[in-house]
């Protein structure tokens, strides 16, 4: 996909992987709008020439704000990147609210945005949807069961809509990052990929027409999983 002159929407684009994706798309010539929850971070992105939309994607109002923010605009690229972790514990009923918040943000919101923004994407000569999942969609960690479940659900959804849109002008891309150095993973040890390098692989995949972008160690994880799912899970637990 030639992103030059095209309008891209990057959810969660004011921080972490999303911010790097937005910066690199802009450097490649795209016009980029980012969404986020932090007024200060959105203001900083606006100062760099980005369009901004404030909205919490765990809420219906937040999704409405994003859809409304691109009304009348020639959207050609939707990057569903926004995501949150969960404090869910299997034996603690009090953590179900955290689980629900994670599901709404990581799974419900991307589905809603794909559906509600699809007419705009179809109206362009060339368009794409990028759903950012995770290596954890392939090999889940026991300590992050809800987060892993949302990413596995989004992976399945992405594969399904890719088939549904195979004869259209809308390409469907799945990006699978490994553990990346972001605010979300600040409390975790082990090897982490930089947000810049992860975004570079994702943007390269968009520009070169890939359907699936396995970033960093996920390339190896996919191979290992095809041979031994149990070993792949042990690798993810380690990292």
Q: How far apart are CA 171 and CA 162, in angstroms?
A: 7
Q: How far apart are CA 94 and CA 222, in angstroms?
A: 35
Is there a catalytic annotation at residue 147? yes
Write down the H helix ranges in the chain: 16-27, 39-47, 60-69, 96-103, 109-122, 145-164, 195-208, 218-227, 229-238
Q: How far apart are CA 171 and CA 112, in angstroms?
A: 17
Query: Is 68:118 a contact under the CB 8 Å cutoff?
Result: no
Query: Is 113:11 a contact under the CB 8 Å cutoff?
Result: yes
What does the radius of gyration of the chain's CA atoms come to, in whole angstroms?
Answer: 17
The one catalytic residue among 17, 63, 146, 147? 147
CA 170-176-179 angle, to 5 degrees, is 150
Q: What is the dihedral of CA 149, 155, 164, 33, to 10 degrees?
A: 110
Cα–Cα distances in Å, from 101 out to 62, 132, 208?
13, 18, 34
Q: Which residues are catalytic?
A: 147
């Amino acid at each position: 996909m030639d992103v030059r002159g095209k309008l891209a929407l990057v959810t969660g684009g004011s921080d972490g992987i999303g911010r790097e994706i937005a910066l690199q798309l802009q450097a490649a010539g795209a016009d980029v709008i980012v969404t986020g929850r932090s007024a200060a971070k959105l203001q900083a992105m606006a100062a760099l020439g980005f369009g901004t939309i404030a909205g919490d994607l765990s809420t219906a109002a937040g999704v409405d704000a994003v859809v409304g923010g691109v009304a009348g605009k020639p959207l050609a690229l939707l990057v569903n990147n926004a995501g949150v972790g969960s404090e869910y514990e299997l034996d603690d009923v009090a953590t179900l609210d955290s689980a629900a918040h994670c599901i709404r943000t990581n799974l419900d919101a991307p589905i809603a945005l794909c559906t509600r923004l699809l007419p705009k994407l179809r109206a362009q000569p060339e368009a794409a949807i990028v759903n950012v999942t995770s290596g954890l969609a392939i090999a889940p960690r026991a300590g992050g069961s809800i987060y892993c479940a949302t990413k596995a659900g989004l992976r399945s959804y992405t594969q399904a809509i890719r088939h549904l849109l195979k004869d259209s002008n809308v390409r469907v891309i799945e990006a699978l990052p490994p553990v990346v150095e972001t605010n979300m993973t600040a409390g975790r040890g082990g090897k982490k990929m930089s947000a810049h390098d992860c975004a570079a692989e994702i943007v390269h995949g968009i520009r070169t027409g890939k359907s699936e972008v396995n970033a960093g160690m996920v390339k190896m994880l996919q191979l290992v999983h095809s041979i031994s799912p149990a070993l792949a899970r042990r690798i993810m637990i380690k990292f």
